Every structure is written in structure tokens, then in C-alpha cells.
Amino acid sequence: MTDIKSPAGWIPARGKRRLIALVSAALALLLVMAACTAIVELPEPEPVIDDLGRPVVITGVPRRIVSLAPANTEIVFALGLGNRVVGVTDWCNYPPEALEKEKVGAFYPPDIEKIVAMAPDLILASDIHRHELIPTLEERGLTVFALGPQTLGDVLESITRVGQITGRERSAANLVSNMQDRIDYVKAQTAQVEYRPRVLYVTWHDPLWTVGRNTWIDDLIEIAGGANIFSDDIDGGTVVEIESVVFRNPEVIITSLWAFDWATSEPLLTGTDASKNGRIHRVDDDLVQRPTPRLLVALDWFAHYIHPEIFEAPDDN
């Protein structure tokens, strides 16, 4: 084997193989170092569809959350994310810890500049914000995810989605499972009832607002063993004439706190079976009208008012 020449002099043939090995190792090391310093392009996160049908890209796990609706705030806290909330609306009053969070103004419209200054990496909005507020916030480069559930099933799905985009999938799954268990229990108790009383829910009285099908309140009435008197005629919530209520003759009337005094004193309702039999009741608006886990408390009250022979009154209202 022939000797080779290096800058330091002649290398015996027997060292040729060792030199080649050393050079190869050095080249391999340089390639590894180059690879480590190269910019790696990660795939874009898959968008998540919000309740408005909008694809929203959530980059990383949100650490600074602003909630623009009381229901959103309740869901976030229920998932154990209270320490990540940096801003809520003036109307966010539950849980009590929400009252300690910095306020961004009214439910609609909030203070946009204050929201921007909070530098949130996730804003949870509502369907009421779709036309003006959401586009404005997105123009500022902020990530906005909207919740707008209509039915009780939608509420469970909203909780699941919030868990998905905040890294709390397991907490959301457990919460939804517990809620579904309670719903199934009440449904099983009322599945075989011989009679379903006619029920009216009063959201507001001036003008008279109520709800029909495709609403979580209609679901509550049905699961609790009642029959919503407007389920066949109304889709969603709307204003109705009191004469239409009298014609349908509800046997149970459940109202918001604000409408109870009106319902118990309105002369046109005195002829209804609900008034005659003293079956006009009220439930805290926040329990009934917010799409949150506390709808289960509302369900317990609905079940008690509609079928007191089956369900006792809950401990708290």
C-alpha cells in the first residue's frame, strides 16, 4: 500500500484508513450540526370550527384568555382555566372568582382597546358579536373563537370544543359525561309518565318573550316531562301575544325572576290552569338562560315544578 502526503508530511500507508475514518467522522458531525441549526417548518395546526361555522386556527395552548360572555366565563372556570383568564365582561358574575378579574366593559359592545391591551392569545366570543366585533378583533391580529349553542346538545358540544382548544380535553370530557349522566337520569324518570303537563316559559313580559323548539329551554321542558306549548309553532325565541298563551292554556308557567310578579298578577292569565292551581313558578335567569353546566340546576327545578310527585325541590335556586 502506498504512503500518502499530508500538510504535516508523509503518512504511512497503514495510517491511511485511520485518516479516512477521521475525515468521515468530521464530515458527519458537520452535517449533524448543520441540520440542528436549520429552520424546521412545522405543519400548520388544523383549524377548529367554531359555532358560527368559522375555521379558527389555535396556535399552541392559550395562556391569556378573554371571555366576552357570562356563559363563556362559566365554562372556562368549570374547566379549571380560571388562572388563565385575564379579562371578562361586566356581566360575568359566576363563579365568584370571575368578579375579581379585570373587566373589558359591557357584554355588547365591550372596550376593544382594552381587550387589545390585554394581549390575549384567545378570545371567547358569542354569536351576538359576529357582525362587527369579531371582524374588528381579527383585523387586530387576535384569535377569536365564538360559541353560540342553541340546544342542550349544542351546549355539551361547546364545552367539548373549549376543552379541545385550551388543552383541557380530559376535564371537558369528564364534565360533559357527568352532565349527560344527570340528563339521562331525569329523562329516565319521566320517560314513562302518563301525562305531560302543558308548560310555558316566560323569558320577559314587556313584550312577552318565550321559546319554542330548537332551544335548550325547550329541551329542559321535554326532559323534565313537560310539553312546551309553543314547541310546535315557534323556532327559537320570539315575542308572542298573550291571547295566544291563554288559548293554549298552560298548566305550568315558569318565569325568569323579572317576569314572575307580572305572571302572577296579569289578569289575562288568571283563567289559565297554571294560575288557578297555583303553578306559576320562577327560576333564576342565570340558571336557565345561560348555556353552561348550571343548566342542570335549572333542569332539576323544571323537573320539580312539572312533576313534583317525582322530583323534590333542589337545595338551592
Per residue in 98-155, pLDDT (tens digit) is: 999 999 999 888 999 999 999 999 999 999 999 999 999 999 999 999 999 999 999 9
Q: Which of 38-42, 109-113, 192-196, 214-218 has the lowest mean pLDDT?
A: 38-42
Categorize the per-residue pLDDT at 198 as very low, low, confident or very high, splitting at 50, 70 and 90.
Answer: very high
Per residue in 42-90, pLDDT (tens digit) is: 456 789 999 999 999 999 999 999 999 999 999 999 999 999 999 999 9
CA distances (Å), 94 to each of 45, 70, 129, 201, 310, in order? Answer: 32, 8, 21, 23, 30
Give the phi and the psi of residue 214 in degrees, each rounded to 5.
60, 40
Task: Assess contact for 283 and 254: CB atoms under 8 A.
Answer: yes
pTM: 0.85
The reply to whether omega before 95 is within 30° of 0 (cis) is: yes
Residue 305, burial from CB neighbour count under 10 angstroms (0-12, 13-18, 19+) = buried
Domains and CATH numbers, the chain: 4-37 (no CATH), 48-175 (3.40.50.1980), 194-306 (3.40.50.1980)
299, three cell numbers: 333542569
